[in-house]
Structure 1
Amino acid sequence: MKERLIFSLLLALQLICASVFLWELLSSLIGFSSRPISWALYETIEILAGVGLILGVVMTAILLRRSARARDKAEASLRLASGAFMDVLNERFTEWGLTPAERDVALFSIKGLSTTEIAALRQTSEGTVKAQTNAIYRKAGVSGRPQLLSLFIDALMDDQVAMVPATVTDDAA
């Protein structure tokens, strides 16, 4: 909250200084008649404008650095989640006793490839892929691809919930 107030004040300072500079330029270009201000006040305004611009650059650099850190943290979390997903896949495939061929077909299926695409990638017939997907569904105890995928999503969500520390409420304390 305090930081937001500082950014707002800095922005207001920059807007005021920019307005003064624009007013001076427009008055000399267009010929606005304005009441002259003292040189001391004018120089003070120019100093404040310079300081405001420098602070603006500094604050922009700080915000860019924070944004880059947040992006890096999000990318790291995504890599972690991706690795966790592969761990869950391998655990389930082992539990179900999938053959190496069935593992490949299951992975391609989870990635959303069609039977035709899987057959082309594996250089087998579509009938073979269909037989392997049926074996996968039977071993996993599901009736189709959406249920198969939901097993992994549920497992990941359970892992994420387990990672979140429990908070103590007033009732429990």
Structure 2
Amino acid sequence: MNARTRSIERKAAGISILVALQALACAFFLADLVGDVVADGIGLHLVIEGMAAIALLVAVVLGSFQVRSLIAAARRDEAAVAAAQGAMSDLIALRFAEWQLTAAEADVALFALKGCDIAEIAALRGSAAGTVRAQLTRVYAKAGVDSQSGLIALFLEELIALPDRGPSAPLG
């Protein structure tokens, strides 16, 4: 579960508690209103109290809908992130196969895509920096790029789909 989902769930829990407290207050006010109307009849004070109770009831209903909306949004976001992660993983595997990377080259390329520099990749793989540098050079050549940023941009370019704007539409 990512930080955004946890944040939404905390907000939903907070709003749920608030809605529950509002529902209790609304039940109290409505019961008090009914008791006062039975005992004293309808007066200006009770009409105002009734309007306040109705406003509180509306807030309870709207709060409930807001909680449902937050939870649904969190679930949609989580599903979208999972789909994007799967798509990225599939795209990486496809490109690595197309480029005919060796297992070591694929491993080094994956670390490069994650933003690791040569020293970090060497430390993670337990190999020499020169070996990693040579492997990255072969990866870049097979991918048709000349740098780590070029490799990353290659994947981002395939994942970012701009809307069709037509031949003369500006990007901005």
Relative to the length of structure 1, the TM-score reads: 0.67
User: Given the alignment of the two structures, is residue 152 of structure 1 paired with residue 151 of structure 2, yes or no?
Assistant: no
CA RMSD of aligned residues (A): 1.8
The residue that corresponds to 1:133 in the other structure is 136
Paired-residue identity, %: 41
Query: In the aligned structure 2, how far is the partner of 1:142 from the partner of 1:113?
Result: 17
Mapped to 1, the partners of 2:94 and 2:160 lie a distance apart of 15
Q: Which of 93, 96, 105 lines up with 1:90 in the alignment?
A: 93
Q: Which amino acid aligns with 2:144?
A: G
Runs of 4+ in 1 over 2 A off after TM superposition: none
Aligned residue type for 1:111: K
Shift of 1:157: 2.2
TM-fit CA distance, 1:144: 0.5
Structure 2, unpaired ranges of 5+: 1-41, 165-172
Instruction: Quote the Cα distance in structure 1 between the aligned partners of 2:112 and 2:87.
Output: 18
Alpha-carbon distance, 1:146 to partner: 1.0
Deviation at 1:112, TM superposition (A): 0.4
Larger radius of gyration: 1
In the comparison of the two structures, how many residue pairs are matched? 124
Q: Distance in 1 between matches of 2:121 and 2:57?
A: 58
Q: Which TM-score applies when normalising by structure 2?
A: 0.68
Alignment-derived partner of residue 35 in structure 1:
none
Residue 101 of structure 1, CA deviation? 0.8
